[in-house]
Amino acid sequence: MLLDTGAQAGLFGRLIQFDHWLFNKINQQWTNPFFDAVLPFLRQAEIWVPFYIFLLFFITINFGKKGWLWAFALIMTAVISDLLSSSVVKHLIFRYRPCCDPSLEDQVRVLANYCPYNSSSFTSSHACNHFAMSMFIFLTLKQTSRWWALVFVWAFCICYAQVYVGVHFPFDILGGTILGLGIGYGMSVFFQNQLGPLSLKQSV
């Protein structure tokens, strides 16, 4: 199904118009040289390798074998979210990316080093993957520290960067976020039902 980003009638048309308006604000007006330099890199997975390493050490040192099972469940959360977003939703619903949209491509500031023409913009796999992982991390680790809620800020910043650099519309991010939160919630429930909650007071 082609999700037309052109003129639409009724409520759907107004939503698309709002989506375009918000995209223009983020991509073209709410800009500055600092964001131009930082946000294209913020969305790259390599930037977050130190965070992933810290997470692996924290989990395995504190929870032993159960920590390794947690790490495997987190990886599976990312795999499932990416498959559903990239291999299911994107094949069912096609939407031009802002940088490829014939009605917008001359207006969009493209700060990313790629803009795949044949890849659907809906849903954002970055949003789906990172919010799925964030929900899983938060729900399974919230007993250890309230600071794990900051993983949602991490996911939001990456997703905001996707709009800022011109490769996604805000509604693509919203769709990916909703899907990802659902996957993360489901995986956290499955993990805790099978292995129980993680707690720093427990001995593994």
88 contact partners, CB below 8 Å, separation of at least 6: none
How confident is the model over 171-182, as a mean pLDDT?
Answer: 98
The per-residue pLDDT of the chain, averaged, comes to 91
pLDDT attached to residue 119: 87
pTM above 0.85, yes or no: yes
Say how far apart CA 153 and CA 25 lie, in whole Å: 20
pLDDT attached to residue 86: 93
How confident is the model over 151-170, as a mean pLDDT?
Answer: 96
Give domain status of residue 181, yes or no.
yes
Alpha helical stretches, state H, 113-200: 125-141, 151-164, 170-195
Give domain status of residue 93, yes or no.
yes
Least confident of 28-42, 79-93, 102-116: 102-116
Give domain status of residue 3, yes or no.
no
Give domain status of residue 5, yes or no.
no
Residue 137 pLDDT exceeds 80: yes
User: Domain holding 36: CATH number?
Assistant: 1.20.144
pLDDT attached to residue 197: 85
Say how far apart CA 83 and CA 125 lie, in whole Å: 9
Give domain status of residue 52, yes or no.
yes
pLDDT attached to residue 126: 95
Residue 204 pLDDT exceeds 70: no
Give domain status of residue 28, yes or no.
yes
- Number of domains the chain contains: 1
Give domain status of residue 139, yes or no.
yes
Least confident of 9-23, 35-49, 162-176: 9-23
Q: Are 23 and 169 in contact (CB under 8 A)?
A: yes
Domain containing residue 153? 10-195
Give domain status of residue 1, yes or no.
no
- The total of other beta-carbon atoms located within 10 Å of residue 83's CB is 14
